[in-house]
């Protein structure tokens, strides 16, 4: 079937939808109705969403929830989370409440350095290139001043600029390695603008450099782009308490629980198959807050997982120990986030989320995001090492099954009552629904 289309982006929104509906659906009218059902009735608000990306045909909704009672560095937060996975918000809230009576979470930003690179090819003597770089470095920095002026007023800008020889990895490959401080903005556009100017100046200066032969003057810039790997933009989140204080309804033997918990973390430190799932649980919390606050969860994911592999093997992001009767659980992760610019000033719900968090700075948001990830990880490991992960997960997942089978309020009441004392599984719930309807 040939479904190629020419000039799709030039079609009106209505024309795009009609083409999609008539090309891919047996019942085009039903498809059109579903797509339009998710439009916002406020035309101005809908237009705002339409302009976020190209070829918009509808809005794709995700639930926005709140995990309250997060005690972070002595202050309480109600954390907005945007995610579709059942049990995530409940687990975060449960961890927040658990630790709020045990000293709360401690968090600290260790560094906020961001990185960008100009990747280029140079055919000539590397020593000559180094001499050239040292000679023109002031000119390179000066050429970006019109871009960096406002950022410098806020205490940011370019913090270092160096030439790196990468010819042992790839023939003729060099780079300008640049570090930035972007304060409360994530800084992607700022960084990329600086890099493109540096690349332009690099080429211009090479053409006029007397120390180069003709071949060396023709520097070939391959690309200029920020890096989403930010190993020096790190935040630490931690909880700790006396082992005896871990006791609660489902933790009757806190020493045994703590030891088993630490062992579970150590397994994730040495076993990549476990580490991936372990870290995915952390990212359930991280991504949910990143989305709610209008930040780029794909960039965060890529950077975090690269960091988890920094020692040559993919490993746990979190760590745990017992020392002198004290249980400590912590992690350090790279996070490049912003609270100004991008969606933070455009999306109404992002504005609401940041307001709920008390209009945090980028550093404060880093702390909140990291704490939520650690809380999520604690909740998962507590379940895994006590009752098992499925008990709580399936209790939340049952709502999805009930919605799928369009159960009535009376059926829901009977089903939930039945499964208070029976094991929940998809098959068991469906079987019980069938028995009710017979």
Task: Give me the catalytic one of 166, 177, 260, 280.
Answer: 280
pLDDT of residue 390: 54
Query: Cα separations (Å) of 34 from 9, 17, 30, 290, 382?
Result: 21, 11, 6, 28, 41
> Domains, the chain, ranges and CATH?
8-50 (no CATH), 64-108+236-387 (3.90.770.10), 114-227 (3.30.70.420), 393-437 (no CATH)
Distance between CA atoms of 31 and 12, rounded to whole angstroms?
Answer: 17
Identify the CA nearest to 114 among candidates 255, 236, 230, 278. Answer: 230
According to DSSP, residue 357 is labeled T
Block means of pLDDT (10 residues each) for the chain, length 438 residues? 87 97 97 97 95 96 97 98 95 98 98 97 96 98 97 96 98 98 94 98 97 95 98 98 95 96 98 98 98 97 98 98 98 97 90 98 98 98 81 63 82 80 78 83
Measured CA angle at 65 (ends 416, 233), to 5 deg? 135
H or E element in which residue 237 lies: strand 234-242
Task: Map tokens 């998809």 to a residue.
Answer: 426
Is 85 annotated in the active site? Answer: yes
H or E element in which residue 182 lies: none
Distance between CA atoms of 299 and 292, rounded to whole angstroms?
Answer: 15
- 3-class secondary-structure state, position 353: helix
Is 393 annotated in the active site? Answer: yes
Q: For the chain, what is the largest distance between any 2 Cα atoms, rounded to a whole number of angstroms?
A: 91
Distance between CA atoms of 65 and 80, rounded to whole angstroms?
Answer: 6
pLDDT of residue 436: 82
pTM score of the predicted model: 0.88
Task: Give me the catalytic one of 13, 49, 50, 85.
Answer: 85
- 3-class secondary-structure state, position 236: strand
pLDDT of residue 82: 98
Q: Are 174 and 167 in contact (CB under 8 A)?
A: yes
pLDDT of residue 343: 86
Query: Cα separations (Å) of 343 from 186, 195, 286, 296?
Result: 11, 23, 18, 10
Task: Give me the catalytic one of 196, 205, 296, 367.
Answer: 296
- Phi/psi of residue 26, nearest 5 degrees: -65, -35
pLDDT of residue 395: 61
Show the tokens assigned to 221: 């810039």
């Amino acid at each position: 079937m040939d479904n190629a289309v020419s000039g799709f982006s030039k079609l009106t929104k209505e024309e795009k939808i009609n083409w999609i509906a008539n090309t891919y659906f047996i019942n085009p009218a039903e498809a059109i109705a579903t797509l339009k059902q998710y439009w916002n009735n406020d035309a101005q608000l809908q237009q705002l969403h339409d302009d976020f990306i190209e070829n918009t045909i509808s809005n794709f909704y995700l639930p926005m929830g709140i995990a309250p009672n997060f005690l972070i560095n002595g202050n309480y937060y109600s954390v907005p989370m945007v995610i579709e996975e059942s049990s995530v918000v409940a687990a975060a809230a449960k961890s927040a409440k658990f630790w709020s009576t045990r000293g709360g979470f401690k968090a600290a930003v260790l560094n906020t350095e961001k990185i960008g690179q100009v990747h280029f090819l140079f055919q000539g003597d590397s020593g000559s290139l180094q001499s050239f770089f040292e000679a023109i470095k002031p000119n390179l920095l000066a050429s970006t001043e019109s871009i960096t002026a406002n950022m410098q007023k806020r205490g940011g800008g370019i913090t270092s600029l160096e030439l790196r020889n990468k010819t042992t990895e790839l023939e003729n490959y060099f780079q300008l390695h640049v570090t930035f401080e972007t304060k409360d903005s994530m800084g992607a556009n700022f960084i990329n603008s600086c890099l493109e100017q540096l690349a332009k100046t690099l080429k211009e200066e090479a053409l006029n450099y007397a120390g180069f032969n003709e071949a060396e003057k023709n520097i070939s810039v391959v690309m200029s782009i920020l890096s989403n790997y930010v190993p020096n933009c790190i935040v630490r989140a931690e909880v700790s308490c006396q082992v005896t204080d871990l006791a609660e309804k489902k933790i009757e033997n806190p020493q045994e629980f703590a030891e088993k918990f630490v062992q579970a973390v150590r397994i994730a430190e040495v076993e990549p198959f476990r580490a991936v799932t372990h870290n995915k649980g952390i990212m359930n919390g991280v991504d949910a807050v990143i989305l709610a606050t209008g930040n780029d969860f794909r960039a965060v994911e890529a950077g975090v997982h690269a960091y988890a592999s920094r020692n040559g093997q993919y490993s746990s992001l979190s760590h745990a120990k017992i020392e002198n009767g004290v249980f400590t659980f912590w992690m350090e992760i790279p996070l490049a986030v912003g609270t100004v610019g991008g969606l933070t000033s455009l999306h109404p719900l992002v504005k609401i989320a940041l307001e709920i968090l008390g209009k945090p700075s980028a550093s404060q948001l880093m702390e909140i995001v990291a704490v939520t990830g650690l809380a999520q990880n604690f909740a998962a490991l507590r379940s895994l090492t006590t009752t098992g992960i499925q008990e709580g997960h399936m209790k939340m997942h049952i709502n999805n099954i009930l919605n799928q089978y369009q159960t009535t309020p009376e059926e829901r009441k009977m089903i939930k009552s039945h499964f208070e004392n029976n094991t929940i599984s998809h098959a068991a719930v469906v079987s019980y629904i069938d028995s009710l309807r017979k």
